Structure 1
Amino acid sequence: MTLVATEDLRRQNTATVLRSLRHDGPATRTELARRTGLAKATVGTIVGALVDGGHVSEADAVAAARGRPGRPLVLTGSTLVGLGLEVNVDYVSSVAVDLGGTVRLERTVPVEDRDPYEVVVAAARESADLMSGMGTRVVGATVAVPGLVDRQNGIVAMAPNLGWRGRTVADDLGAATGLPVAVENDANCAALAEARRGATIGLDQSVYVTGTVGIGAGVISGGAIVRGTSGFAGEVGHIPLGDPAARCGCGRRGCWEASVGLRALLSAVGVAEDGTPLEAAEAVSRRAASDASTAEILDGIGVLLGKGVATMANILNPDAVVLGGYFVPLAPYLMPATVREIEAHVTSAPYASIDVRLSTLGLRAAATGAAEEALTQVLSGATAV
Structure 2
Amino acid sequence: MSAGVGNSNDQTRRHNLSTILTFLHHGGPQARAQLTGLSALNRSTTGALVVELTELGLAFETEPADSGRVGRPSPIVNANANVVAITVNPDIDAVTVGVVGLGGVLHHLVRRETDAVPTVGASIRIVQEVLDGLRDELAGYRVVGVGIAVPGLVDSREGVVALAPHLGWRDEPVARPFADALGLPATVANDAALATVAESLFGAGRGVQDLVYLNGSASGIGGGVLAGGVMLRGRQGYAAELGHTLVNSSGIRCHCGKRGCLETEVNLGRLLEVLGRETAGLDEVDALIAAVPDARPEIERQLDVLALAIGTFVSVFNPESIILGGFLGSLYEADPSRLRASVDAASVAGLAEPVRLERAQLRSRLLTTGAAELVFADLLADPAGTVF
Q: TM-score range by the shorter chain?
A: 0.7 to 0.9
CA deviations over 1:197-244 (Å, ceiling 9, x no partner): 222233222222112231111223455533222111110111222352
Task: Give the equivalent residue in structure 2 for 1:346.
Answer: 347
Task: Give the equivalent residue in structure 2 for 1:252.
Answer: 258
Note if 1:77 corresponds to 2:94: no
CA drift of 1:366 comes to: 1.2
Note if 1:383 corresponds to 2:372: no
Note if 1:200 corresponds to 2:205: yes
Task: Give the equivalent residue in structure 2 for 1:133.
Answer: 138
Task: Give the equivalent residue in structure 1 for 2:359.
Answer: 358
CA deviations over 1:163-209 (Å, ceiling 9, x no partner): 11111111111111111111111111222222222222332222221
Residues 86, 145 of structure 1: 8 Å contact kept: yes
Note if 1:182 corresponds to 2:187: yes
Instruction: Report % sequence identity.
Output: 32
Query: 1:240 is matched by which residue type in structure 2?
Result: L
Note if 1:88 corresponds to 2:91: yes
CA deviations over 1:115-160 (Å, ceiling 9, x no partner): 2534532353356553763421111121111111111111111111
CA drift of 1:383 comes to: 2.0
SS at match of 1:215: strand
Task: Give the equivalent residue in structure 2 for 1:172.
Answer: 177
Query: 1:225 is matched by which residue type in structure 2?
Result: M
Task: Give the equivalent residue in structure 2 for 1:219.
Answer: 225
Which runs of 4 or more aligned residues in structure 1 lie more than 6 Å from their structure 2 counterparts after TM superposition? 61-64
CA deviations over 1:270-323 (Å, ceiling 9, x no partner): 845223355467545533x1x3xx422322222111001111111112221112
Residues 275, 289 of structure 2: 8 Å contact kept: no
Identify if the C-alpha distance between structure 1 residues 44 and 355 changes in structure 2 by more than 3 Å, giving closer, same or farther: closer
CA RMSD of aligned residues (A): 3.2
Identify if the C-alpha distance between structure 1 residues 323 and 316 changes in structure 2 by more than 3 Å, giving closer, same or farther: same
Q: Any gaps of 5 or more consecutive residues in structure 1?
A: 1-7
Note if 1:160 corresponds to 2:161: no
Task: Give the equivalent residue in structure 1 for 2:39.
Answer: 36
Query: 1:47 is matched by which residue type in structure 2?
Result: V
For 1:37 and 1:245, locate their aligned partners in 2 and report how far apart those are by CA, in whole Å: 56
Identify if the C-alpha distance between structure 1 residues 281 and 275 changes in structure 2 by more than 3 Å, giving closer, same or farther: same
For 2:29 and 2:358, locate their aligned partners in 1 and report how far apart those are by CA, in whole Å: 30
CA deviations over 1:327-355 (Å, ceiling 9, x no partner): 33343555454323210122253683331
Residues 92, 117 of structure 2: 8 Å contact kept: no
Identify if the C-alpha distance between structure 1 residues 324 and 116 changes in structure 2 by more than 3 Å, giving closer, same or farther: farther
CA drift of 1:61 comes to: 6.7
Identify if the C-alpha distance between structure 1 residues 28 and 265 changes in structure 2 by more than 3 Å, giving closer, same or farther: closer
For 2:96 and 2:214, locate their aligned partners in 1 and report how far apart those are by CA, in whole Å: 18
Q: Any gaps of 5 or more consecutive residues in structure 2?
A: 1-10
Which has the larger displacement, 18-27 or 93-102?
Answer: 18-27
Task: Give the equivalent residue in structure 2 for 1:373.
Answer: 374
Task: Give the equivalent residue in structure 1 for 2:267.
Answer: 261
Residues 343, 352 of structure 2: 8 Å contact kept: no
For 2:36 and 2:289, locate their aligned partners in 1 and report how far apart those are by CA, in whole Å: 55
Which has the larger displacement, 81-90 or 221-230?
Answer: 221-230
For 1:74 and 1:273, locate their aligned partners in 2 and report how far apart those are by CA, in whole Å: 47
SS at match of 1:83: strand
**Please, which of 238, 263, 279 is the counterpart of residue 232 of structure 1?**
238
Query: 1:96 is matched by which residue type in structure 2?
Result: V
Residues 91, 167 of structure 2: 8 Å contact kept: yes
For 2:203 and 2:33, locate their aligned partners in 1 and report how far apart those are by CA, in whole Å: 31
Task: Give the equivalent residue in structure 1 for 2:3.
Answer: none
For 1:61 and 1:210, locate their aligned partners in 2 and report how far apart those are by CA, in whole Å: 39
For 2:377 and 2:95, locate their aligned partners in 1 and report how far apart those are by CA, in whole Å: 22
Residues 110, 276 of structure 1: 8 Å contact kept: no
Residues 147, 185 of structure 1: 8 Å contact kept: yes
SS at match of 1:324: strand
Identify if the C-alpha distance between structure 1 residues 244 and 9 changes in structure 2 by more than 3 Å, giving closer, same or farther: farther
**Please, which of 15, 18, 23 is the counterpart of residue 20 of structure 1?**
23
Residues 206, 220 of structure 1: 8 Å contact kept: yes
CA deviations over 1:53-72 (Å, ceiling 9, x no partner): 443223337999xx973532
Identify if the C-alpha distance between structure 1 residues 199 and 241 changes in structure 2 by more than 3 Å, giving closer, same or farther: same
For 1:275 and 1:118, locate their aligned partners in 2 and report how far apart those are by CA, in whole Å: 23
What is the number of equivalent residue pairs in this alignment?
Answer: 372
